[in-house]
Structure 1
Amino acid sequence: MRPARRGIARTHILIAAAIAAIAIATLLAMGRPPICTCGTIELWHGAVDAGNSQHVADWYTPSHIVHGFLFYALGWLLLRRRPVGERLVLAVLIEAAWEVIENTPFVIDRYREATIALGYTGDSVLNSAADIGWMVLGFLLAWRLPVAATVALAVALELLALWVIRDNLTLNVLMLLWPIEAVRAWQGGA
């Protein structure tokens, strides 16, 4: 029989929300567009085009869910004696920081030069906020699901994105850190 799991304290939820709000304010101060410059808001943008990273969800959303799985695992490994709410706050801090860093000219240019994201202009603020939310969903799923189910779901999400758009979290990290021309050619359909 599994021991009962304690919930996440309201204080931790409020701190996580404040971190997300600070990231959103920072992105707005950086001049990021609040929504897609196309003027619409889509819950799902399934095309791989300039609308990616502009709406609530797209084919890169699974990567952010997997971020949540990984941050939960990292927190469990390094901070398992700390309350899960503290680990959630840390996960939100990391994801929020990444959303800000990801939208700097340096990283946007890196995506353009090292990956297949040739027309990438950065995220809308709506997309960045949603990405933080998707990571939180992944974290909460990892907290509640058995480890085997979380691992299976992570593999399934990675394989689905790989199959549909020839990209996923694994390839994204690889191509940002150590670009391989053969992978870029394959991702481009060659």
Structure 2
Amino acid sequence: MAWPLALAATAAVMAAVLLAMGRLPVCECGTVKLWHGAVNSAENSQHIADWYMPSHVVHGLLFYGLFRWVAPRASLGARAVMAALLEAAWEIAENTPAVINRYREATAALGYSGDSVVNSLADLGFMLAGFAIAARLPWWATLLFGLALELLALAVIRDNLTLNVLMLLWPVPAIRDWQAALPG
């Protein structure tokens, strides 16, 4: 059973790369909270969980389907490692100056400064949780669960994985204005 070691190594390498990039291990505030719900806050993406956690669970649902399709003969553990590598690559890319600046320019995340390492590690864990859920649910239940997570985030913070990808690749000013008008 080499896949648990591969998952741990993926997390360790991702954390080491993020630290080498200058990412803070924990929130600059010096605390680690289980939940931080204020989206328009300097502490967003700095703690274990926040309103972007559902997006990482959805990553796991999608990655399960992707790797079941592209690597159908691979074991579940091997596919989980593939998903973890993809998520780790995203966490590293997401925290580069180019992507952080893109978020600031193209989305309503004007004060976004990147993730803490603890937040990125938690995001990897949430993706793996989504992957495990998708491995156990029938496809239609996985689809409904993913839609429910997307709609929940949309209703609460006016953002979700779908809008995040859209706004990074093809910003829509009307959506940005609607997101920026989020009360509180």
Q: Give structure 2 stretches of 5+ with no counterpart.
A: none
Which residue matches 1:12?
A: 3
Superposition deviation, residue 78 in structure 1: 1.2
Superposition deviation, residue 138 in structure 1: 0.4
Which residue matches 1:22?
A: 13
Which residue matches 1:145?
A: 137
Work out which of the residue numbers 124, 130, 133 in structure 2 matches 1:132.
Answer: 124
Q: Percent identity?
A: 63
Superposition deviation, residue 144 in structure 1: 0.8
Per-residue deviation, residues 109-140 of structure 1 (Å, max 9, x unmatched): 00000000000000000000000000000000
For the pair 1:40 / 2:31, whether they are aligned, the reply is yes
Superposition deviation, residue 22 in structure 1: 0.2
Q: Give structure 1 stretches of 5+ with no counterpart.
A: 1-9
Q: How does 1:91-102 map to 2 (within 5 A)?
A: 91-102=83-94
For the pair 1:86 / 2:48, whether they are aligned, the reply is no
Return the letter of the residue paired with 2:95: N
Query: TM-score under structure 1 normalisation?
Result: 0.93
For residues 29 and 141 of structure 2, the distance between their equivalents in structure 1, rounded to whole angstroms, comes to: 38
Which residue matches 2:104?
A: 112
For the pair 1:71 / 2:89, whether they are aligned, the reply is no
For residues 107 and 185 of structure 1, the distance between their equivalents in structure 2, rounded to whole angstroms, comes to: 20
Which residue matches 1:156?
A: 148
For residues 31 and 135 of structure 1, the distance between their equivalents in structure 2, rounded to whole angstroms, comes to: 23
Return the letter of the residue paired with 1:54: Q
For residues 91 and 104 of structure 1, the distance between their equivalents in structure 2, rounded to whole angstroms, comes to: 20
Across the aligned residues of Structure 1 and Structure 2, the Cα RMSD in angstroms comes to 0.9
Which residue matches 1:59?
A: 51
For the pair 1:123 / 2:115, whether they are aligned, the reply is yes
Report how many aligned residue pairs link the two structures.
Answer: 181
Superposition deviation, residue 172 in structure 1: 0.2
- Shift >2 Å, 4+ stretches: none
Superposition deviation, residue 105 in structure 1: 0.3
Query: TM-score under structure 2 normalisation?
Result: 0.96
Return the letter of the residue paired with 2:102: R
For residues 170 and 182 of structure 1, the distance between their equivalents in structure 2, rounded to whole angstroms, comes to: 15
Per-residue deviation, residues 150-179 of structure 1 (Å, max 9, x unmatched): 111100000000000000000000000000
Superposition deviation, residue 107 in structure 1: 0.4
